[in-house]
Amino acid sequence: MCIRDRYIGQVNQSNQREGQGTYLYGNGDRYEGEWKNDMKNGKGSFFFKNGEIYIGQWSQNKKHGYGRYFYKTGDRYEGQWNDNFKDGQGTFYLTDGTIFKGSFTMNQKNGRALLILPDGNKIEEIWENGTLKRTQELTISQHETTQIQSCLLYTSPSPRDS
């Protein structure tokens, strides 16, 4: 049995997808969102058959602008896209609690980045076209330590403490 693609939504005078609509792909993928001139354009969500999801901006059928990508592993990426590539500032949240904040060029880590480990330690990284060039562990400054201690000393009591 052959399952065909199907569109449910608004169309323009030329019978092109335009405005809000849902496109059901024969392979099980689904797009819900805005259309212009028969292309995904504006805000929309793409649900992949394998369980991955992209929620964000589109331009001419490509991920473009700010978007969030949820991987089937539980990891997620939030940040800028250009022409279907992670491109610009973005943050990866890994299931083990690691956070990577940095810059991307055509899906490759590029430039300065901050890696925050599950234990709270921070590492500054320098990337060049997807290759790690340098790392440096960051330490909390005396000023930051004093601020943290002040916050801990002057917390207001819980209503349960009364």
| CA–CA separation, 97 and 111 (whole Å) | 22
Q: Token pair of 38, please?
A: 């028969």
162, pLDDT greater than 70: no
What pTM was estimated for this model as a whole?
A: 0.82
54, pLDDT greater than 70: yes
> For strand 30-36 and strand 17-24, is the pairing parallel, antiparallel, or unpaired?
antiparallel
**Chain segment 102-143, per-residue pLDDT in tens:** 999 999 999 999 999 999 999 999 999 999 999 888 866 444
Q: Give the confidence band of 158 by pLDDT, cuts at 50, 70, 90.
A: very low
Whole-number mean pLDDT of the chain?
88
**Chain segment 83-101, per-residue pLDDT in tens:** 999 999 999 999 999 999 9
DSSP-assigned states of every residue in 99-124: EEEEEEETTEEEEEEEEE-TTS-EEE
Q: What is the mean predicted confidence (pLDDT) over 55-83?
A: 98
160, pLDDT greater than 90: no
Q: What is the DSSP letter of 2?
A: P
